[in-house]
A = this chain, B = another copy of it.
Amino acid sequence: MISNPYNPARIPAGVVERLPQYARTLASLEEQGRQVVSSQELGSLLDVSAAQLRKDLSWFGRFGKQGRGYNVRQLLDELRRIIGLNRQWRMALVGVGRLGRAIVGYEGFTPQGFRIVEAFDSNPRIIGQRVDGLVVRDTAELEAVLRASSVDVGIVAVPGDQAQDVIDALVRCGVKAILNYAPIAGRVPRGVRIKRIDPVLALQGMTYYLKQSAASAK
């Protein structure tokens, strides 16, 4: 691969969104022992056109050789480096109720380099409890703790009416990425990223088709 200098701030958000999906598909091809993949095949596995795939990757330099396809391992390594998947990310969880406990127990984080290193709750009955090796701290101590021990990502798992206050506190601590499980949109200043885990939006992306199949079954 020939690296071109690129301006990270200019990469369209849609491209950045797709990179982790490309990396995931390449990782599964690698697991299957595949060494080479064409842009056509990789695109079709991801539901994007070969042209879109080549255009997305071209933001980051030249990958693959004309007519030979991509080397799976090389492209995966490059993407991991670009996205930042080749390192560990430290996360703080706020809210250790049912949802927070489920998040602590989620099997998918650790293999991908995401580790919950602090957990906070404001309920006196939950503070001090040990959950999967973490001792739950008082949310009132959030800012003091996170100023001393910085984290990369804040996870918000409190009820909707407390979520914006928690987001604001995380932002004051310098957290630049927030994963929001609360059922509110959440406001953050420029320079801070927030992603909402939104099962209702996922459901609403399917009801359109349910409606069609119900209508055609009549």
- Give me the interface of A with B, judged by CB distance under 8 Å: 8-9, 13, 16-17, 19-21, 23-24, 47, 82-85, 89, 97-99, 101-103, 105-109, 112, 114, 152-153, 159-160, 176-177, 179, 183, 191, 193, 195, 197-213
Which of A19, A179, A198, A205 has the most chain B CB within a 10 Å cutoff? Answer: A205
Docked complex Cα distance between A197 and B85 (Å)? 19
Give how many copies assemble into the complex. Answer: 2
Docked complex Cα distance between A203 and B90 (Å)? 11
Known: A83-B208, A89-B207. 5 other contacts (CB 8 A): A13-B47, A85-B207, A108-B183, A109-B199, A112-B204
Q: Which among B109, B195, B200 is the interface contact of A109 at CB below 8 angstroms?
A: B200
Could you name 21 residue pairs across A and B whose Cβ atoms are closer than 8 Å? A8-B208, A13-B47, A20-B204, A83-B207, A84-B207, A85-B204, A89-B207, A99-B102, A99-B105, A99-B106, A106-B183, A108-B160, A108-B200, A112-B204, A176-B209, A176-B210, A177-B207, A179-B206, A193-B206, A195-B203, A195-B205
Residues of B within 8 A of A102 (CB): 97-99, 101-102
Residues of B within 8 A of A21 (CB): 201
Residues of B within 8 A of A83 (CB): 204, 207-208, 211
The smallest C-beta distance from A171 to any residue of chain B, in angstroms, reads 13
- Contact status A20-B108, CB under 8 Å: no
